[in-house]
Structure 1
Amino acid sequence: MKKVISTGMMAAAVLFAVACNQEKGAVEEAQETNEQMVEETSMEDQMTEMSDFMTKAASGGMMEVELGKMAQEKGQHADVKSFGQMMVTDHTKANDELKQLASQKNVTLPDSMGEKHMDHVKELQEKTGAEFDKAYMSLMVDDHEEDVKMFEDAAENMQDADVKAFASKTVTTLRQHLDRAQQIDSTLQAQK
């Protein structure tokens, strides 16, 4: 009888651990994997900094591609559709470069977006027409402002030369995206 109870309690503990793991987002899981690897190296701070930057960039890049596809389908304004195409093209390229860099650096990237980015996707899925266009372009301005800051910081302060070079190269494109997003957003906001 004690053996049955003991076995049952162990099974419950395993199921609880599995359930807890499923509640974590892909970004958090990737960061935990990277943290475990970092603890085994002597360059803990550098690896943590690099891992945090790369996992956040990966999640953001996935969102940009997903929303870009959505803008091409749901966008009403021609500039919104063309901006969406630019997001898919440019961020797919950057995402591929990031995956290659992460592989070289033994950094695990998330296989899906983080919660914050998923929330943005869900929010825009509910919108259509001009309402979608305005919400999408407003989000693109806000998101690219954050991205430019994050990539500028990495380009200036990242200790790893390869990651620093990736951030420096990518921030130029992100600034172009931000400028274009601001132009389109301003045009759309002027239309009542």
Structure 2
Amino acid sequence: MTRARAFASSRLPLLLCFVVLPAVGFAQKPAASKSPKRNEHQHTLNAREQAFVAQATADDDMQITLAKLAMGRSDNPRMRALASRIVSDHTALNLQFAQFTATKGSKGHAHGVPVQNIRAMQAHLQSLHGEAFDQAFAGMMVKEHHSIIAAYEVAAKTAADDRLKTIAARGLPVLQGHLAAARALMKEGSPAQQRRENQ
């Protein structure tokens, strides 16, 4: 009996090793599975994506600035309605980009609309009145939306970051709606012009 007890006690540490080691292994698995999530937040935008974000946010600022001017100066209620819509939509887009870049720790490179260009457009509009103002503002909206829509289309197809691709894809119909409305207003002219043509 003494030898049997000695044999059993000598095997006890080995049995404990087989029980404890697997438990330690299981405890470590959840920690390893979390590492990919940390890597997602560490992912930085490539140069093309950063350039798109900078262009889109600068375009938002420019369009908001010009549309606010139109809201106060245009006599055409449809033009003021479009301007109000542009301010609202581009403010929302700008917020999406701000939240997105905050998670990436990057603000992008300065590849947007130069400040002096925005001031020049603003000064030109401020020098105009009535129908001339409306036509100039609508023309600017057509031109600028053409340019930014092309950038959104590229980002929606080629962006490596899925979230950025989604922002671009969802923003496209919004911008295309602005473009269509601006084109229509350019063709229709002001209410006063329409009355003269109908007389």
TM-score normalised by length of structure 1 = 0.70
Question: Residue 11 of structure 2 aligns with which residue?
Answer: none
1:118/1:52 CA distance change after superposition, 3 Å: farther
1:55/1:66 CA distance change after superposition, 3 Å: same
**1:36-75 aligned within 5 A:** 47-75=46-74
- 1:98-136 deviation digits (Å, cap 9, x = unpaired): 1111111222267x9623333322322222221110000
Question: Residue 142 of structure 2 aligns with which residue?
Answer: 141
One-letter amino acid matched to 1:161: D
One-letter amino acid matched to 1:75: S
One-letter amino acid matched to 1:48: A
1:151/1:107 CA distance change after superposition, 3 Å: same
Question: Residue 87 of structure 1 aligns with which residue?
Answer: 86
**Runs of 4+ displaced beyond 4 Å:** none
Q: Distance in 1 between matches of 2:123 and 2:104?
A: 32
Please state whether the residue corresponding to 2:46 is helix, strand or coil. Answer: helix
Pairing 1:126–2:127 present: yes
The answer to whether the 8 A contact 1:61-1:91 is kept is: yes
Question: Residue 171 of structure 2 aligns with which residue?
Answer: 170
Structure possessing the higher radius of gyration over alpha carbons: 2
Question: Residue 24 of structure 2 aligns with which residue?
Answer: none
Question: Residue 26 of structure 1 aligns with which residue?
Answer: none
Instruction: List gaps (5 residues or longer) in structure 2.
Output: 1-41
Q: Distance in 2 between matches of 1:119 and 1:167?
A: 28
The answer to whether the 8 A contact 1:53-1:154 is kept is: yes
One-letter amino acid matched to 2:145: H
1:60/1:118 CA distance change after superposition, 3 Å: farther
**1:17-36 aligned within 5 A:** none
Pairing 1:155–2:156 present: yes
The answer to whether the 8 A contact 2:145-2:175 is kept is: yes
State the 1:67 CA deviation. 1.1
Please state whether the residue corresponding to 1:159 is helix, strand or coil. Answer: coil
The answer to whether the 8 A contact 1:60-1:117 is kept is: no
The answer to whether the 8 A contact 2:43-2:104 is kept is: no
The answer to whether the 8 A contact 1:72-1:85 is kept is: yes
Q: Distance in 2 between matches of 1:92 and 1:133?
A: 22
Q: Distance in 1 between matches of 2:80 and 2:190?
A: 16
1:126/1:162 CA distance change after superposition, 3 Å: same
State the 1:148 CA deviation. 1.1
One-letter amino acid matched to 1:78: P
Q: How many residues align?
A: 149
Q: Distance in 1 between matches of 2:156 and 2:137?
A: 27
State the 1:189 CA deviation. 8.1
Q: Distance in 2 between matches of 1:161 and 1:69?
A: 32
Q: Distance in 2 between matches of 1:132 and 1:97?
A: 31
Between 113-122 and 168-177, report the one with greater CA deviation: 113-122
Instruction: List gaps (5 residues or longer) in structure 1.
Output: 1-40
